[in-house]
Amino acid sequence: MKHTLTRSALALVIGLAALPAAYAVSKAQQWDYLQPDRDQMIASLNVVELLKRHHYSKPPLDDARSRKMYAGYLKMLDPARMYFTAKDVQEFDRWETEFDDFLKAGNLKPGYAMYHQQLTRLDQYLDYALGELNQGIAKIDFSIAESFETDREKAQWAPDENALKDLWRKRLKDEVLRLKIANKEPQAIETLLVKRYKNQKKRLQQTRSEDVFQAYINAFAQTYDPHTTYLSPDNAENFDINMSLSLEGIGAMLQGDNEHVKIVRLIPAGPAEKSKLVAPADKIIAVGQGNKELVDVIGWRLDEVVKLIRGPKGSQVRLEIIPASNAPTDQTSKTVTITREAVKLEEQAAKKSILNLSKEGRDYKLGVIEIPAFYLDFKAYRAGDPEYKSTTRDVKRLITELQKEKVEGIVIDLRNNGGGSLQEATELTGLFIEQGPTVLVRNSDGRIDVLADEHKGAFYKGPLTVLVNRLSASASEIFAGAMQDYHRALIIGGQTFGKGTVQTIQPLNHGELKLTLAKFYRVSGQSTQHQGVIPDISYPADMDITEIGESALPEAMPWDSIKPALEPANDPFKPFIAELKARHDARTDEDPDFVFSRARLALTQRLMQDTEVSLNEVERRAQYAKIEKKQLDIENARRIKKGEEQLKTMIKDDEEDHVAAAEKDKKTKPEEDAYLAETGRILLDWLSLVPVASRQ
């Protein structure tokens, strides 16, 4: 069905008459300039057609998809359910099954109407907060017993505007209390929050029609999968503006996380990764250029934060971050300085080391090859340069060097390897197998392309393990999956990221559409999507995998399988996995680093469940003290077992601490990396269990 809504009809539909008299009406009318134009209407029709024809899964555009879009758009506009009332949502609900019809007709008005209401309410909140702050935070009573639910994603909508205002009061009180407990002075708190809200209000007034259109069309596009994204004309030049920074920035992949911007992954050998100052799941709350004042970016759009972080090569950017290691209610932040630079290919190159271990009175040497990324110097390769640089060529050379040192096995370290060249994943697989398929690519038309190693004979036939973690993604998963499916190596570590889809860019009359058009499958027929690669022997995660990874993204495409490209073969590892796990468990049950990782992860997961916080200062400080004691006990338990001096209080991260840690990291021996050393011990266990003739 088609709908044409006049301005007065829109005002009635979204319930503006229920807002406080002339104030509410004038607040709503100030957004009247935000209207869709002809180019946007045509672009929306093009997006509908492209997704219908070319998206991998080709789901129908029907009432069911309309419901998904509606739910996603509501969440996008009001993720914490702090702006819309139940009455607003009741009015919006009439469109729940009609967005498919609106999109087919090029009708963007309802999406704009919902956005208008969100802007109106956000503006009201900012006015409310500024009014309260102007009266001074001294009047806020932190002695009364009340609480605030910080995770409101599934909370009930406020029944009316009075209830909404009470939520705003508690939210502001919580923000002030968090800063107070973080040892900020009252005047500094007032100054910070007033400046934050005035800046947000100023940016609100600069909202463009394109901002509305991009949000609305993405609410539709991302019902298909999280990597299908509309890019506005301003952002179209940046292929992955919604997920990453330029490699001439700080080298970090980012994503929006409600009102924050969160680091998802650090680019290997990038400025951020080399600095050791930031980590995945850290939240960026302010950005500064060089020595200039930090700009508070809470509530900013992702692309706006990206623009602030980018800058000329060699310049410095300061980031104020809330570390991922903090308790969910702990807003203590730190400020770090990172020098922007391009990621150099040679710094991402594979590198080798020797892991020296002892077992039953005998010394062993194992080779370690760390592969930060799957790289290929395309320019030199296409120019016919015989010395072009690639992952496979470098690894082949490193294996030769390690064999000259008479290592008894090799560990391929793919931790934090976010992928790269698909060609290199295939070529690298070929070094370790006799011949055959390496990965399957299923396209949207159902056609399956098989990438294969055409060269006969394996370059390295010796004992092999592959070490992975949650940040091993894409090409890393293809290689690790192939090694597992060919029973060529033990896969050890953490469940990998789980991104098994392929995207392409399609130009529109207005902006561009990045859409998913293919899916990767292992030679066993299993997808790497969503599930990733499950290790044969698992290590405790060093981060909460519910926060990072494909499965953490809304509408992530599911895991599935297709016909395998390999006939099932005898698995030489299977009869020994139980014994290998038993030996691993026996060692790591007492290993201080493994015990620490398990305890820290368990504490983090428990804390993530505690989303209701006290607004009573005494109780809140007691909560923080209890959490800090648990963190301190876990840290000191590790220190005691390692013979190190115990801490009296938790060391708060600052830049000097991290610089010292970075220097120490550079000097770390392979044996001092608990996960790497244990991987080597598992490989030695395998060698002791299996006769030489049975290892091939």
Catalytic annotation, residues = 474, 485, 499
**Angle of helix 109-134 relative to helix 209-221, nearest 10 degrees?**
120
Residue 44 and residue 211: Cα distance in Å, rounded? 14
Residue 338 and residue 39: Cα distance in Å, rounded? 40
Who contacts 206 (Cβ-Cβ below 8 Å, separation ≥6)? Answer: none
Angle ∠(420,425,430) on CA atoms, nearest 5: 160
**CB-based contact 579:537 (threshold 8 Å):** no
Residue 282 and residue 118: Cα distance in Å, rounded? 28
**CB-based contact 453:436 (threshold 8 Å):** yes
Tell me the DSSP string of 103-117: HHHT--HHHHHHHHH
Provide the b/e sequence for 601-619 (b: ≥16 CB within 10 Å).
Answer: bebbeebeeeeebbbbeee
Residue 151 and residue 209: Cα distance in Å, rounded? 30
**CB-based contact 592:642 (threshold 8 Å):** yes
Who contacts 12 (Cβ-Cβ below 8 Å, separation ≥6)? Answer: none
* Helix, strand, or coil (residue 197): helix
Tell me the DSSP string of 26-58: HHHHTTTT----HHHHHHHHHHHHHHHHHSSS-
